[in-house]
A and B are shown apart, each in its own frame.
Chain A
Amino acid sequence: MCADQIPPHDASRRRAIEIFLGGGILASLASFLYPVLRYFVPPAVIDLGGDEVVAAKAGDLKPNSGKIFRFGSHPGLLILASDGSYRALSATCTHLGCTVQYRSDLREIWCACHNGIYDLNGRNVSGPPPRPLTVFDVHERGDEIVVSRKREA
């Protein structure tokens, strides 16, 4: 067959192939590359949320007050005691799971559900709670108050 005389239906066939193949390559490569390129961009939230979290900034808390912060998917309680030391504990009451709070009048941790009381070391001192609260480590990093789980082997 003469190269300079391609029958019309063959030419349209070649166009079709070109469209499908060319378009297919472009489309498929684009649909593969798009997610990969987006993947390379680091997300806004860097924190893994597992082991360590920035609970507050220095100056957020007044002495003898506390605040609830998020530690993974559980609440934590950060307390700035009147002696200036930071304490961080799990805020889930060991009795029936209510969220505890810091009582500045009692200077102790209190659970509003059944009047359970814990001291600043998390020990259950009064009321129904059967076990102490889990205590976390607190470090000050610059102006950030960082709470982390106690290191285990």
Chain B
Amino acid sequence: MAILHNKYRQFTAARAAALAGLLALAACLGYGQAVNSCLDCHSAQPGRLEVTPEKFSQDIHAQKGLTCVSCHGGDDSNYDPDQAMSRKAGWKGKIDRKQIPQLCGSCHSNPAYMRTYNPSLRTDQLDQYHTSMHGKRLAAGDTKVAVCTDCHSVHDLRAPSDLRSTVNPVNVAQTCSRCHSDAAYMKQYGIPTDQFAQYSTSVHHDAMVVRGDLSAPTCTTCHGNHGAAPPGVDKVQNVCANCHAFQAQMYGKSSHFKAFQDKGLPGCVVCHSNHGIHMPSDAMLGTGPSGVCMKCHTPGDHCDRARADILSNLTQLDGAIKQADQSLRLAESSGMEVSEARLSQDQAVDSLTKARVTIHTFQPALVNEDIQAGMKIASANQKAGQDAMVERNHRRIGLGICLIAIGLMLVGLWLYIKKLES
């Protein structure tokens, strides 16, 4: 058996055979279609060299009329690999990771060029990328960081608005987690790798993925996408403020703002966490496991008393609303008319919601204002429910009178019958 020591010759032989067959096939199938020798060959390549026409047809670049040659150079009309992938034909080969941003930017940072495809697309991605952690580290020689193709995928790159795209809002966290949740991969950087796990338990994740609210925040909302970097410990509340305007305003004017700044604490994150942000509850003002105040404050001091004050007020209003609800439900199921009071309950709940926002002023007096407004309404509604029950009881008096009349009648009939039959 002749053993070919020269692997290249073996490879060439195999290639020639495959090509001959493919040529025949292509000639039959591809008659009349645009010739793309790259795809024709590479759809039969193993592993990472494989790019099928099916896959590539999903790519938005392909859909816009660009081909393999647009990025890789070469000659896609030629089935001879030596000629198709030659320096003379401008063949670039596999693009080196360090070169990828530049390559993508060669079109995507060219406004005049991009205008001919989609005038509303931004063209500053490359500039942004250079300011990001990924961009800076890449410039310093670290090729482990993300480049364009890591997030956007390659050869089946979809527009971000496509739900199957790796950079569609619902998929962004998953994409980031490919590296950032890989403890082994991230070891040398010394940053946590639990962000995705934490985010998956958060109310933002729930809003985005479970309830389908595409405006909910994902990694890139707070960290930026192309210019991805943490916002900075003292700037966290600016980021949160984009959606949570009132809380941020109140916090900004409160005592805690300066206190946290001076200590270099990350604002909102101190109480609400950064990635695993859960639905806040009144228990956060408590002294139990979800209590946040006592992480810094001493029990018994002025702040602890303020905390207890706020918590008791909130609990009071919550209880009053529930009580009024119960009273109204009882009246309703007895058939009494209490829809006016039911409407007014909404207002009481409004006050409670407002009060929970006012917590961020950290002033019990202000929170109490909202609470008292709600208490008035809730007690009035409770009274309405009770009044309805009193009215219901009046009906029983009417019944009593009726039963007496019936009793009278029954006695009369009985006596009459007795008389008749005596």
Tell me the bound Cα distance from A99 to B410 in angstroms. Answer: 57
Contact of B246 with A21 in the complex, beta carbons under 8 Å:
no
Tell me the bound Cα distance from A90 to B401 in angstroms. Answer: 46
| Size class of the contact patch on chain A | 35 or more
Interface of B is mostly: helix
B320-347 residues with Cβ-Cβ distance < 8 A to A are 339-340, 342-343, 346-347
Could you say which residues of chain A place their CB within 8 Å of the CB of B183? none
Contact of A24 with B405 in the complex, beta carbons under 8 Å:
yes
Could you say which residues of chain B place their CB within 8 Å of the CB of A23? 408, 412
Contact of B350 with A21 in the complex, beta carbons under 8 Å:
no
Contact of A24 with B245 in the complex, beta carbons under 8 Å:
no
Does B62 sit within 8 A of A, measured CB to CB?
A: no
Chain B proximity of A1: nearest CB distance (Å) = 11
Contact of A113 with B354 in the complex, beta carbons under 8 Å:
yes
Contact of A130 with B207 in the complex, beta carbons under 8 Å:
yes
Contact of B343 with A24 in the complex, beta carbons under 8 Å:
no
Contact of A30 with B405 in the complex, beta carbons under 8 Å:
yes
Tell me the bound Cα distance from A20 to B410 in angstroms. Answer: 8
Does B415 sit within 8 A of A, measured CB to CB?
A: yes
The interface bits of chain B over 400-414 (1 if a CB of A lies within 8 angstroms of the residue's CB, else 0) are 011011101111110
- Which single member of B246, B342, B346, B409 contacts A25 (CB below 8 Å)? B409
Does A7 sit within 8 A of B, measured CB to CB?
A: no
Could you say which residues of chain B place their CB within 8 Å of the CB of A13? 415, 419
Could you say which residues of chain B place their CB within 8 Å of the CB of A114? 244-246, 357
- Which single member of B246, B340, B349, B416 contacts A17 (CB below 8 Å)? B416
- Which single member of A75, A112, A130 contacts B213 (CB below 8 Å)? A130
Does B353 sit within 8 A of A, measured CB to CB?
A: yes
Do A113 and B357 contact each other (CB < 8 Å), given the known contacts A49-B339, A72-B339, A127-B243? yes
Chain A proximity of B121: nearest CB distance (Å) = 23
Does B211 sit within 8 A of A, measured CB to CB?
A: yes
Contact of A17 with B343 in the complex, beta carbons under 8 Å:
no
Tell me the bound Cα distance from A16 to B416 in angstroms. Answer: 10
Do A28 and B408 contact each other (CB < 8 Å), given the known contacts A97-B349, A99-B350? yes
Chain A proximity of B78: nearest CB distance (Å) = 54
The interface bits of chain B over 143-177 (1 if a CB of A lies within 8 angstroms of the residue's CB, else 0) are 00000000000000000000000000000000000
Tell me the bound Cα distance from A96 to B246 in angstroms. Answer: 15
Does A27 sit within 8 A of B, measured CB to CB?
A: yes
Do A28 and B405 contact each other (CB < 8 Å), given the known contacts A97-B349, A113-B350, A113-B354? yes
A88-118 residues with Cβ-Cβ distance < 8 A to B are 92, 96-99, 112-115
A2-16 residues with Cβ-Cβ distance < 8 A to B are 13-14, 16
Which residue of B has the minimal Cβ distance to A71? B343
Chain B proximity of A54: nearest CB distance (Å) = 16
Tell me the bound Cα distance from A49 to B342 in angstroms. Answer: 14
**Which residue numbers of A lie inside 8 Å of B, CB to CB?**
13-14, 16-17, 19-25, 27-28, 30-32, 35, 49, 70, 72-75, 92, 96-99, 112-115, 127-128, 130
**Which residue numbers of B lie inside 8 Å of A, CB to CB?**
207, 211, 213, 215, 243-246, 339-340, 342-343, 346-347, 349-350, 353-354, 357, 398, 401-402, 404-406, 408-413, 415-416, 419
- In order of increasing CB-CB distance, the 8 nearest A-B pairs are A24-B409, A20-B412, A21-B412, A27-B405, A24-B408, A73-B339, A31-B402, A73-B342
6 sampled A-B residue pairs with Cβ under 8 A: A28-B402, A28-B405, A72-B339, A74-B343, A97-B350, A113-B354
Further 10 A-B residue pairs, CB within 8 A, beyond A28-B406, A75-B343, A114-B357: A20-B408, A20-B409, A21-B413, A21-B416, A24-B411, A27-B408, A31-B401, A74-B346, A98-B354, A112-B354
